[in-house]
Structure 1
Amino acid sequence: MKSLRIAMIGSGSWATALAKLFLNNTSTINWFIRKEEDIAYFNSYKTNPRYLSGVEFETEKISFYTSLRECVKNSDYLVLAIPSAFLDDSFSLLTESDLKDKVIFSAIKGIVPQHNLIVGEYLNKVYNVPLENIGVITGPCHAEEVALEKLSYLTIASINTANAQILSDILNCRYLKSTVSDDIYGTEFSAVLKNVIAVAGGICHGLGYGDNFLAVLVSNAIQEIKRFVDAVHPIDRDIKASAYLGDLLVTAYSQFSRNRMFGTMLGKGYSVKQAQLEMNMIAEGYYAVKCVYEINKKYKVHMPITDAVYNIIYQSKDVRKEIAQLTLLLS
């Protein structure tokens, strides 16, 4: 296991938390960080200059790269943790042969907007990565709590459960428990949709709706997610498991949820552009809701919460009126 060459692709808070986890049980990792000045800071101060600055690293265990191609070349397993909107641009210099025989796990929880594909489908259709070499890292885990070593749980999904088990074994530690699943479509789409729901929850919070209504919103939301993932990939799954319901709950309720924060700003009267400029991090729900809305034109699933968020963000519908209309559709 110690000889497995793992690459972390990305330098945000979740990438930083995952790197911390991997280094608990591996002797070295490769880490792609785009900016040379960030790597220089890392080497000087042993922390990420931009995110989770309280996490200290033994940088002698890390091989830093500013070249994604070189990082990929020298790695066996790639873990993607960059915003979905930037993935296509980041991978633009890579070819199908660069990713040949690589095992790739996405921890992105977003849809690639340029292609309207979840990350697994993007890798499969654009770079011809076999589905058995693709996986998903998901579950109710905020990077901030992982950094604080608070007990957390992840689900590692792949149709090749042996690959998923390898990552699961590496990630498991005193404060992180992980389980294996073969539901790559359901876990990934659920991770995307929970960001949309969190935006809706934030909007309602910003408008002054209370905990009672948020509970109704979330209970309706898990039914909405189930309808959608069952339509996209109809297999037997327990929607109450932590990869689905747990991830939804933490994203809808937590103070660390950037999607909830983004929605709260919209509910308080910020424009979409103002809210984006105010935040230091990407709210994946902004991109996800448009993609899911377009994908659902094929499946025609009843998705009133998703539709309301889409109407507010992309159709400039009045926030109060849209949410008031939504309240009539929930039970």
Structure 2
Amino acid sequence: MREKLRFAVLGGGSWGTALVKMLSENLDTVGWYMRNESAIRHIKNEGHNPNYISAVEFDVEKLALSHDINKTIRDSDVLIFAIPSAFLENELKSLTVSLKDKIIFSAIKGIVPESGKIVGEHFHDEYKIPFENIGVITGPCHAEEVALERLSYLTIACADDDKAKKVAKVLESDYIRTKISDDIIGTEYAAMLKNIYAIAAGIAHGLGYGDNFQSVLMSNAIREMKRFIDRVYKMKRNINNSAYLGDLLVTGYSTFSRNRMFGNMIGKGYTVKSAMMEMNMVAEGYYATKSAHLLMEKLKKKSKTPIINAVYSILYKGKNPKKVFAKLTEKLD
């Protein structure tokens, strides 16, 4: 492995912008791919992303910006993907360079719709990247709080401890604490599932349920998450660690959570389409809900995931949120 690794972030959204900010604290050069050429010009001229967490000011001399995904990949050793899962495969279709010798870390909290897989599994199965070259970056951490330099925590998961440590080191700063994990599959599924539960929390809020019910919903959600992850990939893990429970809580309760916001709108009577149009952002949990439901159905474990089933019936079967949640309350304890 190269002694001084070259890092790049792929994605120009809020989380991609936050990751570039973190890396810029420690590196002389950070590669940054985004499709939006006008945003690149704005960053070069004004020093901030015009579309996402624009309060972050960059030293543009440190940024190797490009709208050519192949150039960014060719010039980098470690690729941190922060492209929404719904658009990932479409972006990868334009690749002409190989990913074979690259180290890939996913900061994407969702399922790739085309394959129905979490991002790490997608890269492993579809692009033949060995698991030791694949990692995951999870929270609990909101991009907006990174912009404000509020103390935040990240979990860096990889089968190769050395790679996890190298990535953790370049992300650490006075306001970012990191820890490493070898549970690459579990942490990535947790990052996907917590978005579904955040939608559930948002729906409950939109319907008028209070804090008392929300606490019951979240305590049931973490147990449901454990059952789901153990069924998919069983290993020794503490579900109460920040990568699982912590990420669930911040996504379920925070006003910064786009998935909670999306669910809140659904609870208030918006259709899925109208909620998405008004938000003008991707709620990863929408796509994750279908994939999680279908996986549990395939494994004949659907009865073990009542919260996921409830969200699925509302988002994909057009069921009335009020009636669905009335039934869900009888299944929670």
TM-score (norm 2): 0.98
- Which residue number in structure 1 is paired with residue 53 of structure 2? 52
* Residue of 317, 324, 329 corresponding to 1:322: 324
1:280 positional shift? 2.3
Indicate yes or no: 2:242 matched with 1:242: yes
- Which residue number in structure 2 is paired with residue 288 of structure 1? 288
- Which residue number in structure 1 is paired with residue 33 of structure 2? 32
Unaligned runs of 5+ in 2: none
- Which residue number in structure 2 is paired with residue 212 of structure 1? 212
Indicate yes or no: 2:257 matched with 1:252: no
Which amino acid in the other structure matches residue 324 of structure 2?
E
Distance in 1, matches of 2:60 and 2:4, equals 18
1:2 positional shift? 8.8
- Which residue number in structure 2 is paired with residue 143 of structure 1? 143
Unaligned runs of 5+ in 1: none
Which amino acid in the other structure matches residue 25 of structure 2?
N
1:4 positional shift? 1.8
Q: Residues 150 and 2 from structure 1, CA distance in 2 versus in 1: closer, same or farther, beyond 3 angstroms?
A: farther
Q: Displaced runs of 4+ in structure 1, greater than 4 A?
A: none
- Which residue number in structure 2 is paired with residue 5 of structure 1? 6
- Which residue number in structure 1 is paired with residue 307 of structure 2? 305
Q: How many residues align?
A: 330
Contact 1:157 1:183 in 2 (8 A): yes
TM-score (norm 1): 0.98
Distance in 1, matches of 2:42 and 2:322, equals 45
Which amino acid in the other structure matches residue 328 of structure 1?
E
Indicate yes or no: 2:192 matched with 1:201: no
Distance in 1, matches of 2:13 and 2:28, equals 22
Which amino acid in the other structure matches residue 196 of structure 2?
V
Which amino acid in the other structure matches residue 316 of structure 1?
G
RMSD: 1.1
Contact 1:2 1:27 in 2 (8 A): no
1:35 positional shift? 1.9
Contact 1:10 1:32 in 2 (8 A): yes
Distance in 2, matches of 1:298 and 1:155, equals 30
1:299 positional shift? 2.5
- Which residue number in structure 2 is paired with residue 79 of structure 1? 80
1:300 positional shift? 2.9
- Which residue number in structure 1 is paired with residue 15 of structure 2? 14
Which amino acid in the other structure matches residue 231 of structure 2?
A
Output one character per residue of 1:78-105: Cα deviation in whole Å (capped at 9) or x when no partner.
Answer: 000010000000001226x610110000
SS in 2 for 1:25: coil
Distance in 1, matches of 2:280 and 2:19, equals 20
Contact 1:2 1:26 in 2 (8 A): no
- Which residue number in structure 1 is paired with residue 175 of structure 2? 175
- Which residue number in structure 2 is paired with residue 233 of structure 1? 233
Distance in 1, matches of 2:286 and 2:10, equals 22
Contact 1:232 1:299 in 2 (8 A): no
- Which residue number in structure 1 is paired with residue 270 of structure 2? 270
Distance in 2, matches of 1:259 and 1:36, equals 27
1:298 positional shift? 2.8
Output one character per residue of 1:136-181: Cα deviation in whole Å (capped at 9) or x when no partner.
Answer: 0002100000110000000000111111110101111100000000
Distance in 2, matches of 1:289 and 1:117, equals 12
Distance in 1, matches of 2:235 and 2:299, equals 16
Distance in 2, matches of 1:35 and 1:147, equals 21
Output one character per residue of 1:192-242: Cα deviation in whole Å (capped at 9) or x when no partner.
Answer: 000000000000000000000000000000000000100111000000000
* Percent identity over paired residues: 54
